[in-house]
Amino acid sequence: MENPLVLFEVQRRVGLVTLNHPEKRNALSRAMLESLRAVFSQIGEDRRVKVVVLRAAGTVFSSGHDLKELSAADESAATAIFALCTDVMEAVRKLPQPVIGMVQGLATAAGCQLAATCDLVMAAETALFATPGVKIGLFCTTPSVALCRAVPTKKSLEMLFTGAPITAQEALRVGLVNHVVPAETLEAETWKIAEQIASASAHTLRLGKQAFYQQLPLERAAAYEFAQRCMVENLSTPDAQEGIQAFLGKRPPQWQD
């Protein structure tokens, strides 16, 4: 029996999603993407999970689309593959839980897109990020959607036009990742931030993530108007009232979930 392409488990309110096809460099084949979409759908309904860590088995985070699969695809099949990939990327963004990408190695093309889509990214010093489609005549247009929302325009275009990889330290400097740590401490450091997030109210995290992405494309005045309504809604929740009273009473809060 073949190993599952995606593994999922829950530890201490943290959902661990693992790309599990290292012999194929964790390529985002159609089967891998379908597995990811199914797992993310499951996580969205899982009240045990407060935060998600997305990681990969082996030395490569993800090499992107399966090029053999793409080369054999007709227009209809190619359309379906790219639509499925978009579904997966949007599933990450729309998950009620924050998603932390744990990048231990190369994240290239759609693999870089997946990392850029995560809410936060922890990277090993050995990690590399690239959008090299231009080198094979297939511009990384869909990866650019996530990339340009995480990285300034000039750097995004440099990565897209040259296809050259950037180091983890460069990715940190341009905002693609949050922290760069030694490879041997990547898992421990990722757990630290995951557990810090998991100590918050799950309901508040859900409200906050949803509101953040909803206000992001709005003009400033409209964003403030929307954010004010969200704050009023949030203030009325039991967890907000508990958190305020706990702070005033100098005691730990007791969240409802």
pLDDT by residue (tens digit) across 91-122?
A: 999 999 999 999 999 999 999 999 999 999 99
Residue 257 pLDDT = 82
Q: How confident is the model at residue 1 (pLDDT cuts 50, 70, 90)?
A: low
Give the number of domains in the chain: 2
**Side-by-side strand order, sheet with 6-11:** 6-11, 14-19, 51-56, 99-103, 120-124, 179-181
Whether 2 shows a pLDDT value over 90: the answer reads no
Whether 254 is in a domain gets the answer: no
> In whole angstroms, what is the distance from residue 157 CA to residue 152 CA?
9
Last residue of a domain, one of 176, 198, 220: 198
Whether 111 is in a domain gets the answer: yes
Instruction: Quick: pLDDT tens for 155-180.
Output: 999 999 999 999 999 999 999 999 99
Whether 255 is in a domain gets the answer: no
Are both 80 and 111 inside the same structural domain?
Answer: yes
Whether 247 shows a pLDDT value over 80: the answer reads yes
Structural domain that includes position 217? 202-248
End-to-end alpha carbon distance in the chain: 38
Whether 257 is in a domain gets the answer: no
Are both 116 and 237 inside the same structural domain?
Answer: no
Last residue of a domain, one of 179, 198, 217: 198
Last residue of a domain, one of 164, 183, 198: 198
Buried b (16+ CB within 10 A) or exposed e, 63-86: bbbbeebbeebeeeeeeebbebbe
Are both 72 and 146 inside the same structural domain?
Answer: yes
Whether 253 is in a domain gets the answer: no
Are both 51 and 108 inside the same structural domain?
Answer: yes
Beta-carbon count within 10 A of 158 CB? 16
Per-residue pLDDT, averaged over 120-140, amounts to 98
Task: Give the CATH number of the domain where residue 163 resides.
Answer: 3.90.226.10
Q: Scanning the structure block, which residue is given the tokens 């050995």?
A: 126
Per-residue pLDDT, averaged over 141-153, amounts to 97
CA 238 centroid distance within chain:
29
Whether 243 is in a domain gets the answer: yes
Whether 256 is in a domain gets the answer: no
Q: Scanning the structure block, which residue is given the tokens 């494309």?
A: 217
Q: How confident is the model at residue 138 (pLDDT cuts 50, 70, 90)?
A: very high
Are both 184 and 243 inside the same structural domain?
Answer: no
Are both 240 and 119 inside the same structural domain?
Answer: no
Whether 205 shows a pLDDT value over 80: the answer reads yes
Task: Give the CATH number of the domain where residue 210 resides.
Answer: 1.10.12
Residue 224 pLDDT = 98
Are both 124 and 238 inside the same structural domain?
Answer: no
Are both 182 and 226 inside the same structural domain?
Answer: no
Are both 167 and 231 inside the same structural domain?
Answer: no
Residue 155 pLDDT = 98
Whole-number average pLDDT of the chain: 97
Are both 121 and 92 inside the same structural domain?
Answer: yes
pLDDT above 90 coverage of the chain, percent: 98
Are both 82 and 22 inside the same structural domain?
Answer: yes
Are both 190 and 206 inside the same structural domain?
Answer: no
Tokens encoding 246 = 């706990």
Whether 233 is in a domain gets the answer: yes
